[in-house]
A and B are shown apart, each in its own frame.
Chain A
Amino acid sequence: MDELNLVQAVNRALARAMADDPRVVVLGEDVGRDGGVFRATDGLFARFGEDRVIDTPLAELAIAGVAVGMAAQGLRPVAEIQFTGFIYPTIDQLVNHASRLRTRTRGRLACPMVLRSPSGGGIHAPEHHSESPEAMLAHIPGLRVVIPSSPRRAYGLLLAAISDPDPVVFLEPTRLYRAVREPVADDGEALPLDRCFVLREGRDLTFVTWGAMVLETMAAAERLAGRGVEATVIDLATLHPLDHETIVESVRGTGRCVIVHEAPLSGGWGAEVAARLAEHALTALLAPVVRVAGYDTVMPLPRLEAHYMPGVERVLAAAERVLEFA
């Protein structure tokens, strides 16, 4: 079994989906001859040809619109937006068309498209290349939002997203692209959407996180274990629809929850998780739910980036706060 990093796993999943299903096409800026800005589509053009691996003009609105049309007419398009900073021109297409084609046509048309985009900071990129806008996308009824946090989950969740009958936004944490390797079997097996992954089980505290922050959170859980505090770590994986049963069940057991995300605090997805806990698990809580998040500022340039991103120390400090409550 090959050891792959996350971007290689994405590449492997795309190749597998294209080989297994002739309806799958890939489109985006530089995805063809160039192989993609992060090499996610490397080799696909040579293998599947220009009809199925389509270089588009620099026009995100058009990329999304073409994908909506392709999907409505029976193809399985996988569109790439080079960075989430450039995802905003696609939003009208996603909100007003992709997410509601099924309801507007009473099921006559569906929109089985995937919009992939590298997301998040930590790679010393300039402005517009480091943001985490998942909360905005996850607010849209009818739009699934998936963020993998390991090569294996990237492979399995992307296959699931491509075969899903409805639109999926698939946000790939840029910082994880080459951060970790693990064995990934190219077996064509999808992983379940709409389910959290419990990465670690403990009785004292529940961490809820997703994307690149899974690394910091797992490291914090290890440090806590070193002093006898056992934490559960939940990777949301699918942000919308939210598998809140898994979260609520865990927090009912531990009584304490820390949510960790990279996007700015206010209006981030952590607010929704916290609100669900306020609604469904308030009486089980031994301490307030605490959010560790990016600051409410514009994403800073590289010199301050490490300060902006929640690190292990900030996660640990939040854990200390919720553990203090008797």
Chain B
Amino acid sequence: MTTTTYREAVRTALREALTRDSRTFLMGEDVGRYGGTYACSKGLIDEFGPERVRDAPLSESAFVGAGIGAAMAGMRPIVEIMTVNFSLLALDQIVNNAATLRHMSGGQFSVPLVIRMATGAGRQVAAQHSHSLECWYAHIPGIRVLAPGTLEDARGMLWTALQDPDPVVIFEHAALYNMEGELPDTAGPVDIERAAVRRPGRDVTLIAFGANLHKAMEAARLLAAEKIEAEVIDLRSLRPLDDATIMASVRKTRRAVVIDEAWRTGSLAAEVSARVMEQAFYDLDAPVGRVCTEEVPIPYPKHLEDAALPQPEKIVAAVKAQLGARA
């Protein structure tokens, strides 16, 4: 076992990809000489050179478009968008080109592209740097969407994503980069299909992903002190969703709370809630709860930002509301 960080796990994954496949290159704003805004690619330009660790101009539409072109022409690019907030400028490329080219070309072209981006709030970077728009991408046919919430997944999802013949978007929650933990020396590629049960329990199912997985785990610890055993599911793949793992848990616990850092209305939590109702209606003992972000631009002051975001205490309160309800 090695003690490491999420950031170091991402960097190890990038190094592995660049080492194992000569078609792979990393491209994005400040990924080269500066080492990445979140220091994920620090040192890689020295190891692999500026041809394979490419600094891009501040133009998301242009360099995502270039990545799509490279993927169509046989490369296996990894494009880093500094944060999901700036991916709005690349949305046209992702939705209209990356996601549709296999279809539009009748299968002549595929786009084996991986786009990594930081997401999420909690670091006092205010209204234009704190979005969580995973649900948008999870609505787009033609792309796969992943959210590594653990060191193993930060380390292991990238290589598997690069083997996918179609575009994959990986969301790294910025609050996770400093997370420390143990990683086995044998850690490597992981599956990108299934959700994972991170904590078994019998009384309620907490469904989360990314950094909010850890808030759900903390809520589960708080609940355990009151003899309420929460099962915690880490979605891992946001598109497609692993319905089987979700429903197996909800059928057992009969209650579900979905935690999603997106604005509540139109969130991925809504999709999960709708599916639980469609597929496990008769197993539910209480309405499906959602703990999401308040529908405001993310505030700058710490106390207001904390108030806007999902927190373990809010999850605990949602669970208690569930246990008080009887269908």
- Listed in ascending order, the chain A residues whose CB lies under 8 Å from chain B are 85-86, 88-89, 91-92, 95-96, 100, 103-104, 127-128, 133, 135-136, 138-142, 240-242, 263-264, 266-272, 274-275, 277-280, 282-283, 285, 287-291, 295-298, 300
Contact = CB atoms under 8 A, between A and B. Distances in A.
6 contacts: A104-B297, A266-B239, A274-B274, A289-B277, A298-B103, A300-B103
Nearest to B90: A88
B225 interface: no
B212 interface: no
A135 B139 contact: yes
A296 B136 CA distance: 14
A95 B286 CA distance: 35
A306 to B, nearest CB: 17
Interface string B240-266: 110000000000000000000011011
A103 B127 CA distance: 10
A295 B142 CA distance: 12
B1 interface: no
A86 B97 CA distance: 12
A289 B274 contact: yes
Contact of B91 (A88, A272, A275, A290): A88
Interface string B311-327: 00000000000000001
Given A274-B274, A283-B327, A267 B268 contact: yes
Interface in B81-134: 85, 88-89, 91-92, 95-96, 99-100, 103-104, 127-128, 131, 133
Contacts of B288: 275, 278-279, 282
Contact of B273 (A274, A296, A297): A274
A263 B271 CA distance: 13
B201 interface: no
A127 B266 contact: no
B295 A288 contact: no
Contacts of A88: 91-92, 95-96
A291 to B, nearest CB: 7
A266 B141 CA distance: 9
Given A127-B103, A139-B133, A266-B239, 8 more contacts: A136-B136, A140-B263, A141-B263, A141-B296, A274-B270, A285-B281, A291-B274, A291-B278
A291 B127 CA distance: 34
A24 to B, nearest CB: 28
Max chain B Cβ within 10 angstroms of own Cβ: one of A128, A139, A275: A275
Contacts of B92: 86, 88-89
Interface in B215-243: 239-241
Given A103-B296, A127-B104, A278-B287, A266 B271 contact: yes
Contacts of B284: 282
Contacts of A241: 265
B41 interface: no
B154 interface: no
Nearest to B267: A139
B42 interface: no
A275 B270 contact: yes
B171 to A, nearest CB: 14
B44 interface: no
B289 interface: yes
Contacts of B239: 266-267
A199 to B, nearest CB: 23
A91 B91 contact: yes
Of all A-B residue pairs in the complex, the 8 with the closest CB atoms, nearest first, are: A267-B139, A139-B266, A274-B274, A288-B281, A88-B92, A275-B273, A275-B270, A141-B295
B64 to A, nearest CB: 12
A269 B131 CA distance: 19
B88 A103 contact: no
B290 A279 contact: yes
A139 B141 CA distance: 18
Nearest to A268: B139
B270 A100 contact: no
A269 B266 contact: yes
A290 B270 CA distance: 14
Contacts of B141: 264, 295-298
Contacts of B151: none
B281 A298 contact: no
Given A100-B297, A266-B271, A275-B288, A288 B266 contact: no
A269 B271 CA distance: 9
Contacts of B192: none
B60 to A, nearest CB: 9
Contacts of A240: 265-266
A270 B274 contact: yes
A47 B276 CA distance: 55
B72 interface: no
